[in-house]
């Protein structure tokens, strides 16, 4: 096995648990390698650091899979890691739907697997992980005997690894329009054409957090996607719910979801640009008891963090202005580039500019099937905040 020697200065980060080794952090690669090869990584003093897969084409040259010298990287390794990930989710109370594998947080870097009851959607986002796709599929087959497995590798980040974007069946074909249960409600999930893996499981715990504040409330939701938060609001006793999303498809699916739960008399969804509409309605003086915002990541690159902060500030300012005195703003941010402290500062700035006083009700991260590894920043990405606004 080819050995990769690290530069001295990166020892603390790798020894501290971070699994990524960037190209400029490597002193030398002692041999010929090709993308996907398993290599042994050593610290500058020659001590064993771990084993992982290499990709000479990627900025992230090596991603570590194990720190255990005895552990062999083979089919069984992937089976055991996935079985361990499932055991963990079961311990936390997940039965039907969960993010079964959350990449780095499950020591399976660049692998995402969402479990929707008997159906599985996976993403292999690096060359090394792509090479083990057959082993991963085999492991899912043997642990779960699923009704279907689908890959949603139509993700631009794959191109940085020299992989093409693709999607399709990894099992016998099946009907990719499925229905899942969450918190006693039902939701259509479009595995083939929905956003990301089809459904945002990362908010599933947070959706329960609105239970008490929406009772008897007039609720406005923006960036609703298929209407999950809004339908929860109706289920928890909201008087009226209006949801907005820019995507016609999402709105159609949201209206179908409302009907599926018999809540279409309370919930209505419309295709609109939330940025424009919230500004306009603020000027008109419209007021709601609860405003919920869950915008997309405004940036994917570190260079554009300022742009993202401006976006978050602007949309939250507009949202706050629509909240009745003593009502609530429910707001999220889903990029790891804006870490929790910075997000809270941004909300504080928005409140100041909107001349509102806010009181923090709750501040959470993503659902606990997406565990956070301290020091591995990309595992800490979702912020979910409820504030009272006056």
- Pick 77 or 225: Cβ nearer ligand SAH: 225
- Pick 83 or 259: Cβ nearer ligand SAH: 259
Q: Could you tell me the smallest distance in angstroms from the CB atom of residue 288 to ligand SAH?
A: 16
How far is the C-alpha of 77 from the C-alpha of 89, rounded, in Å?
19
Q: Could you tell me the smallest distance in angstroms from the CB atom of residue 188 to ligand SAH?
A: 12
- Pick 53 or 229: Cβ nearer ligand SAH: 229
Q: Could you tell me the smallest distance in angstroms from the CB atom of residue 293 to ligand SAH?
A: 9
How far is the C-alpha of 254 from the C-alpha of 231, rounded, in Å?
8
- Pick 310 or 325: Cβ nearer ligand SAH: 310
Q: Could you tell me the smallest distance in angstroms from the CB atom of residue 196 to ligand SAH?
A: 8
- Pick 50 or 221: Cβ nearer ligand SAH: 221
Q: Which residues contact 363 (CB under 8 A, 6 or more apart)?
A: 340, 344, 383, 384, 385, 386
Q: Could you tell me the smallest distance in angstroms from the CB atom of residue 223 to ligand SAH?
A: 3
- Pick 61 or 278: Cβ nearer ligand SAH: 278
Binding residues for ligand SAH (CB under 6 A): 195, 200, 203, 222-226, 228-229, 244-247, 250, 273-275, 294-296
Q: Residue 339 in contact with residue 348, Cβ under 8 Å?
A: no
Main-chain dihedrals φ then ψ at residue 159, nearest 5 degrees:
-65, -30
Q: Could you tell me the smallest distance in angstroms from the CB atom of residue 77 to ligand SAH?
A: 33
**Between 305-321 and 274-284, two packed helices, what is the crossing angle to 10 degrees?**
40
């Amino acid at each position: 096995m080819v050995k990769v020697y690290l530069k001295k200065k990166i020892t603390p980060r790798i020894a501290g648990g971070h699994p990524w080794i960037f190209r400029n952090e490597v002193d030398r690669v002692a041999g010929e390698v090709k993308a996907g090869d398993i290599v042994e990584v050593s610290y500058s003093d020659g001590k064993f650091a771990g084993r992982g897969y290499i990709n000479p084409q990627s900025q992230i040259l090596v991603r570590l899979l194990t720190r255990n010298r005895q552990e062999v990287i083979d089919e069984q390794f992937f089976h055991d890691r996935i079985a361990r990930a499932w055991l963990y989710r079961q311990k936390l109370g997940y039965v039907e739907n969960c993010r079964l594998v959350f990449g780095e947080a499950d020591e399976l870097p660049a692998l995402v697997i969402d479990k929707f009851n008997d159906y599985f959607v996976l993403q292999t986002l690096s060359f090394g992980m792509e090479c083990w796709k057959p082993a991963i599929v085999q492991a899912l087959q043997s642990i779960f005997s699923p009704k279907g497995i689908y890959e949603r590798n139509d993700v631009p980040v794959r191109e940085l690894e020299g992989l093409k974007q693709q999607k399709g069946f990894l099992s016998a074909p099946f009907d990719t329009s499925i229905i899942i249960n969450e918190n006693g409600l039902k939701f259509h999930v479009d595995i083939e054409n929905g956003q990301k893996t089809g459904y945002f499981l990362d908010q599933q715990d947070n959706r329960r957090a609105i239970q008490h504040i929406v009772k008897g409330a007039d609720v406005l939701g923006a960036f609703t996607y298929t209407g999950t938060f809004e339908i929860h609001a109706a289920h928890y006793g909201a008087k009226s719910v209006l949801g907005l999303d820019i995507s016609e498809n999402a709105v159609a699916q949201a209206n179908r979801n409302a009907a599926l739960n018999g809540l279409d008399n309370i919930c209505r969804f419309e295709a609109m640009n939330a940025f424009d509409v919230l500004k306009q309605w603020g000027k008109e003086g419209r007021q709601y008891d609860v405003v919920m915002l869950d915008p997309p990541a405004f940036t994917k690159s570190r260079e554009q963090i300022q742009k993202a902060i401006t976006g978050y500030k602007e949309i939250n300012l507009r949202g706050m202005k629509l909240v009745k005195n003593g009502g609530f703003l429910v707001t999220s941010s889903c990029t790891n580039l804006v870490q929790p402290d910075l997000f809270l500062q941004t909300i504080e700035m928005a409140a100041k500019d909107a001349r509102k006083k806010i009181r923090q009700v709750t501040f959470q991260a993503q659902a606990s099937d997406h565990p956070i590894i301290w020091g591995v920043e990309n595992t800490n990405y979702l912020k979910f905040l409820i504030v009272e606004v006056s």
